[in-house]
Structure 1
Amino acid sequence: MTDCASVHHVVLLAGPSGSGKSRLARESGLPVLNLDHFYRDGDDPDMPRHPELGIVDWDDPRAWDAERAVDTLVQLCRTGSAQIPVYDIAHDRTVGTELFTVGTAPVFVAEGLFAADIVDACRARGILADAIVLHRKPWKNFLRRLTRDLAEHRKPPLTLLRRGRALMRTERAIVDRQRGLGARPANAEDARKAIRGAADAPSGKP
């Protein structure tokens, strides 16, 4: 079912953890919604577990609330504002909410590991401007991810190192999956051009 009267549209920016999604989104100058805030709480009994590491598998789409994310994006596109959850990764749970506003921008960016999982839903609701998956060499993502996660004290260092090595082995499969879900692959420069193009389109429509 297509929603009517969308004032704004969204560019979905996907990619493996550490691929530079957040930085590129910020550089666009557009409003940016971090989709990682839509993770489920870590003590949810239905959270998936990593078979090798024995911890919650934060890279499994089942750890993420896609329905809530889409509903929030629809509200943002129709009204320009919405209350979004605030997720604390270090404590594995939502700790509050905050108001997110799009302002006068016809397009905003929603970035996150699972952005590609909602391409079809956003297209069906009439709010999708573009869907992109960033790709680059897995070892570069490993170093960026480890540096970021250590600086933010997201998890114990050994856990971050083990998780990072596991992700590096599966990264190409992650990108292939996101392509299959409808996000088109792009390097950083091509992604910048695509986002600028979406923002410059009439009313932000594709």
Structure 2
Amino acid sequence: MSIHPASPARVVLLCGPSGSGKSHVAARSGLPVLRLDDFYKEGDDPTLPLVAGSSDIDWDSPASWDADTAVEAIARLCATGATAVPVYDIGLSARTGEDTMSIGRTRLFVAEGIFAAEIVERCRELGLLADALCLTRGPFTTFRRRFVRDLREGRKSVPFLLRRGWRLMRAERAIVARQSGLGAHPCDRDEALGRLAAAATGRTVRTPAGDPARTTTPA
């Protein structure tokens, strides 16, 4: 495992409401992608939160996600170019194994997931952050995309998906506002791809805090 102490890799955190197209944008960037959804807690974890007034687990609460392990994985990728990551089955609400992610000699990668904004400040303090983006598509578009995707992938039961979809559609503006408040720059798909391309080619990108990001080394 090679270590690059003089030129550590950096991460672009990509968040946004469920169904906003994060995975698609991350794939189109051409950069290595760390799936932050693989860091969900398992379904039998006693710390999992419930939806208020319901017996449903609130998988859209940051408390359902293991932020500490996600940050550790990002830090290892930046420092060494490789890290172990869990393999998570959303339909089973369980980790089914472990894999190794390697970014090779690439000096930039994307970490995408609905909770990415929760770790913006921690990644910035560690000197790992190249940019942080919050992808927005509009409540009706994300509702449709989310439901079709989750139904196709068999993520949860249809009644659960409908209840969750309706709740998230009503909450989408508040979700974007929260993620923006945590330091993620709200943008559409084209702007997100433009900022990812700028970071990948080593151009200076303004961080959500307004300070120029350190120039990255082109992949």
TM-score interval (norm. to shorter):
over 0.9
Partner of 2:182: 181
The SS at the match of 1:87 is strand
196-205 vs 77-86, which moves further: 196-205
The SS at the match of 1:78 is helix
Deviation at 1:53, TM superposition (A): 4.1
Structure with more of its chain in helix, by fraction: 1
| 1:106-185 → structure 2 map (5 Å cutoff) | 106-185=107-186
**Count, aligned residues:** 202
In structure 2, give the amino acid aligned to 1:20: G
The SS at the match of 1:136 is coil
The SS at the match of 1:75 is helix
Distance of 2:62 and 2:7 partners within structure 1: 27
Deviation at 1:77, TM superposition (A): 0.3
Instruction: Summarize the Cα distance change of 1:170–1:6 in structure 2 as closer, same or farther, 3 Å threshold.
Output: farther
Q: Pick 1 or 2: higher relative contact order, CA cutoff 8 A, min separation 6.
A: 1
Instruction: Summarize the Cα distance change of 1:199–1:16 in structure 2 as closer, same or farther, 3 Å threshold.
Output: same
Deviation at 1:5, TM superposition (A): 4.5
Deviation at 1:104, TM superposition (A): 2.0
Partner of 1:76: 77
Regions of 4+ moved over 6 Å: none
Cα deviation, 1:111-144, whole Å, max 9, x if unaligned, reads: 0000000000001111100000011210000000
Counterpart contact for 2:130–2:216, Cα < 8 Å: no
Counterpart contact for 1:6–1:127, Cα < 8 Å: no
Counterpart contact for 1:36–1:113, Cα < 8 Å: yes
Instruction: Summarize the Cα distance change of 1:19–1:204 in structure 2 as closer, same or farther, 3 Å threshold.
Output: farther
Distance of 2:150 and 2:216 partners within structure 1: 37
Partner of 1:203: 216
The SS at the match of 2:216 is helix
| 1:31-42 → structure 2 map (5 Å cutoff) | 31-42=32-43
The SS at the match of 1:182 is coil
Deviation at 1:159, TM superposition (A): 1.1
The SS at the match of 1:203 is coil
Deviation at 1:6, TM superposition (A): 5.2
Partner of 1:27: 28
Distance of 2:153 and 2:50 partners within structure 1: 23
194-203 vs 183-192, which moves further: 194-203
Give ranges in structure 2 of 5+ residues lacking alignment: 203-214
The SS at the match of 2:133 is strand
Cα deviation, 1:139-184, whole Å, max 9, x if unaligned, reads: 0000000000000001111111111011000011000000010001
Instruction: Summarize the Cα distance change of 1:129–1:204 in structure 2 as closer, same or farther, 3 Å threshold.
Output: farther
Distance of 1:90 and 1:204 partners within structure 2: 38
Distance of 1:81 and 1:25 partners within structure 2: 18
In structure 2, give the amino acid aligned to 1:155: K
Distance of 1:147 and 1:157 partners within structure 2: 11
